[in-house]
Amino acid sequence: MASAVAGLKWKRVVVKLSGEALQGPAPHGLDASTLARIASDLAAAARAGHQLSVVVGGGNFFRGIKGADSGIERARADSIGMLATVMNGLALEQAVEAAGQAARCLSAVPMPSICESFSRSAALHHLEKGRVVIAAGGTGNPFFTTDTGAVLRAAELSADAVLKATQVDGVYTADPKRDPGARRYEKLTHDEAISQNLAVMDTAAFALARENKIPIVVFSIAAPGAITETLAGKGLSTLVSP
């Protein structure tokens, strides 16, 4: 794992952002104010001394599993979804730089005329230089979610934790938007998350995190400063750990 610096519980983290998080109130695509808010939060966290890699989804443009449901072959639908994550990654790269912090979008799907290809050595180099690394293109393979991609990148980069940004402030016993009696977990183990089939991340992501002893913090991205607040140990969240 990356060595901690004074005052920082986690120096190197992977932030998992869904495409829907960048959509904001818009029906689809990107919302400029939401994109700027999240980018500003990432820039602030980097300036505070954290090394940040961001794995971004593409559901605001295209979701592979829904594409498969509509008749597109699953492998092809997932490939379209990976391209959608690159669109989000490029937009986030520019937004982070507009917020005053250097950033690099690296894609697992090679497209060198648009952005750098992902490699472990390139990502580590950029992190050590203080740049926010946006890891787009999923894992580069169909049938893997960006949740699994986030944990994979965390393992590759020896990250201290994965921060899973959602629309709710942690993991609940049921959907809190549908069940007012749903209870939020403060802490869970990877085994408990898998055995209880908690859907905040897929089983493959939890299993990979368990194997590599990577803690996952589930928090809400809705409020300004949510990432820096979570990194500071403030606000509501759920810690999923070994």
| Structural domain for 75, as ranges | 12-241
DSSP codes, 18-75? -HHHHHTTSSSS--HHHHHHHHHHHHHHHHTT-EEEEEE--TTT--HHHHHHTTS-HH
Residue 104, SS3 per DSSP: strand
Q: Is residue 6 part of a domain?
A: no
Q: Is residue 83 part of a domain?
A: yes
Domains: count for the chain: 1
**CA Rg, the chain, in Å?**
17
Q: Is residue 3 part of a domain?
A: no
Read off the pLDDT of residues 155-182 as tens digits, 9 standing for 90 and up.
999 999 999 999 999 999 888 888 888 9
Residue 183, SS3 per DSSP: coil
What is d(CA 88, CA 85) in angstroms, rounded to the nearest whole number? Answer: 5
Read off the pLDDT of residues 49-77 as tens digits, 9 standing for 90 and up.
999 999 999 999 997 777 777 789 999 99
- Two tokens at 13? 């983290």
The CATH number given to whatever domain includes residue 174 is 3.40.1160.10
Q: What is the pTM of this model?
A: 0.93
Q: Is residue 2 a contact partner of residue 159, using CB atoms and an 8 Å limit?
A: yes
